[in-house]
Amino acid sequence: MLTGAYNLRMTSKDPLPQSRHLATAIPGPKSTEAIKRRTDAVPAGLGMAIPVIIERAHDAILEDIDGNRIIDLGSGIGVVNVGNSAERVVNRVIDAVQAFTHTNFTTAPYMGYIEVCEALNRLTPGTHKKKTILQNSGAEAVENAIKIARHATKRPAVIVFEHAYHGRTNLTMALTAKNLPYKEGYGPFAPEIYRMPYPYSYRWLGNPATITEDALEMVIHKIEKEVGAHNVAAILIEPITGEGGFLVPPKGFLAGLQKFASENGAVFIADEVQTGFARTGNLFAVEAEGVVPDMIVTAKGIAGGLPLAAVTGRAEIMDSSHVGGLGGTYGGNPIACAAALGAIETIEEEKLVERAAHIGKVLGDFLRALASKYPVIGEVRGRGAMQAIELVKPGSKDPNPEAMQKVVKYCQSKGVLVLTAGTYGNVIRFLPPLVITDELLADALGVLEEGFASL
Ligand SMILES: *Cc1c(COP(=O)(O)O)cnc(C)c1O
């Protein structure tokens, strides 16, 4: 019954057009009033990228309470890769919520959880035997990956990198690199975390021709001298940094780390929370380099917007924990699992891996042409539908967060939502839903170009 009601709403009665539309200024009067209530009711520490209140959304369009239709180039931070309220996700969620809402998987199991784990064991890189545990958020999954790796190796140390972002809990703040806004005033942080240099090619002071070898040598030397390789439980890295500004490691860097980890009995963990689920033109970003991690952490794009996260790893590592050592009340909630199965089905049936590669080509070509016209764009980088531009003072590499803010505000005022990132607060990142139409993307990029022309 409810499925029918949904179809009626989305398809015949009142469909949400996939086009940009400004009904009022942004923010409009209703949003402006509602934002006062927001300010009164929620703490100041919660940021707000765009000051509008969303009423509904579908695929790549967000509609606010004033009737503005905004093009979404952020996907709720890389979450709705399959589009907002994707049909297969919605229909499976409706069926699941009518069947039951919760049992707790460690109290009384259900098939949705098992099927998501089977899918991840099948879809993640590597033909070895794998097992998966489900959680609620990326940070919780990263915590579990570290917890399981420490238990399996009986070692304490965790290796992380400059520009890394792994979450906002105490352990994941410690794993995250950037102080403001993520860590300032929130310490003390968890111990036994060791931060290594990252080969940020645009700002690398050494020889660009030998960046991979040089960076690996620095990292391995530091681990051996400052930590002791035999103390390392895990090496944790994002295959492309997310909040760190879409830094793509030079070819061979990830493979070199993986080799070092396997030679030294450490668990190599890829944090694919932002890069996973077709985002980069592969189902998982490590595939582009043929790297097979021992563990892979996923979240964001996994369930079309519902809260779900996972750790998938080698069976012998995942099975090291005693019964009762792992768990959580809501991890792998049946509604979120149904959403994940709908999202995975959408990725496969709509060929969203290929679609991400296509978006990457269109977006990358456009941004490179823009960079050749506007010297404020210092670098274009990324992979697939995960592209970014780093803004600098023309003629230098000095970060230019002011120009970034101006362009972002311009885009917002015209109904295009883009996100920011980067250690220096000077990166505009693009994470469009993978179902965005070519026309909608072209419209959004036209607005972006106007933003640069307005500087
Ligand atoms: C967002 C993110 C996290 C944290 O995920 P949450 O669901 O916000 O806890 C961890 N790692 C990476 C790479 C992320 O982008």
3-class SS shares of the chain: helix, strand, coil, % to 5: 40, 15, 40
Q: Return the number of other C-beta atoms located less than 10 Å from residue 335's C-beta.
A: 22
CA distances in angstroms from 327 to 88, 136, 418, listed in the order given: 28, 11, 36
Q: List, in order, residues 6 or more apart from 242 with CB less than 8 Å away.
A: 78, 165, 273, 274, 275, 421
From 401, 414, 423, 397, select the one nearest 449 (Cα to Cα). Answer: 414
Distance 6 CA to ligand 1 centre (A): 31
d(CA 308, CA 292): 23
Measure the CA–CA gap between 283 and 32, rounded to whole angstroms.
40
Whether the Cβ atoms of residue 171 and residue 186 lie closer than 8 Å to each other = no
Residue with tokens 């259900």: 110
Is the beta carbon of 238 within 6 A of some atom in ligand 1? Answer: yes
Q: List, in sequence order, every beta strand (DSSP E) within 315-434.
A: 377-383, 386-391, 416-417, 419-421, 427-430
pLDDT of residue 112: 98
Residue to probe by mutation, ligand 1, list 166, 172, 173, 419, most atoms within 8 Å of CB: 166
Name 334's Cβ contacts closer than 8 Å, sequence gap at least 6. 96, 99, 100, 101, 102, 103, 110, 112, 113
Q: Is the CB of 132 under 6 A from ligand 1?
A: no
Residue 273 Cβ inside 6 Å of ligand 1? The answer reads yes
Q: Judge if the beta carbon of residue 281 lies within 6 A of ligand 1.
A: no
Query: How far away, in angstroms, is 167 Cα from ligand 1 center?
Result: 5
Q: In this structure, are residues 311 and 145 in contact, taking their beta carbons and an 8 Å threshold?
A: yes
Contact 53, 64 (CB under 8 A): yes
User: Does ligand 1 lie within 6 Å of residue 166's CB atom?
Assistant: yes
What gap in Å lies between CA 390 and CA 309, rounded to an integer?
29
- Across the beta sheet with 54-58, what order do the strands follow? 54-58, 61-64, 69-72, 416-417
* Confidence (pLDDT) at 15: 85
Ligand 1 atom nearest residue 78's Cα:
15
Q: Three-class SS of residue 314?
A: strand
Predicted pLDDT at 245 = 98
Closest CA to 294 of 322, 278, 315: 315
Whether the model clears a pTM of 0.95, i.e. scores above it, the answer is: yes
Residue 177: CB within 6 Å of ligand 1? no
What local confidence, expressed as pLDDT, does residue 8 receive?
A: 41
Tell me the residue type at 232: V
Asked if 105 and 335 touch (Cβ cutoff 8 Å), the reply is no
Strand 377-383 and strand 386-391: the pairing is: antiparallel
Our measurement of the distance from residue 334's CA atom to the centroid of its chain's CA atoms, rounded to an integer in Å, reads 22
Q: Distance between CA 279 and CA 286 in Å, rounded? A: 12
Q: At what angle do helices 438-453 and 401-413 cross, to 10 degrees?
A: 130
> Looking at ligand 1, which atom is closest to the CA of residue 136?
7
Q: Which two tokens stand for residue 55?
A: 């009423």
Domains, the chain, in order of start with CATH, read: 29-85+352-453 (3.90.1150.10), 88-349 (3.40.640.10)
Distance CA 33, CA 56 (A): 18
Q: Average pLDDT for consecutive 10-residue bins of the chain (455 residues)? A: 44 77 98 98 97 98 98 98 98 98 98 98 98 98 98 98 98 98 98 98 98 98 98 99 98 98 98 98 98 98 98 98 97 98 98 98 98 98 98 98 98 98 98 98 98 97
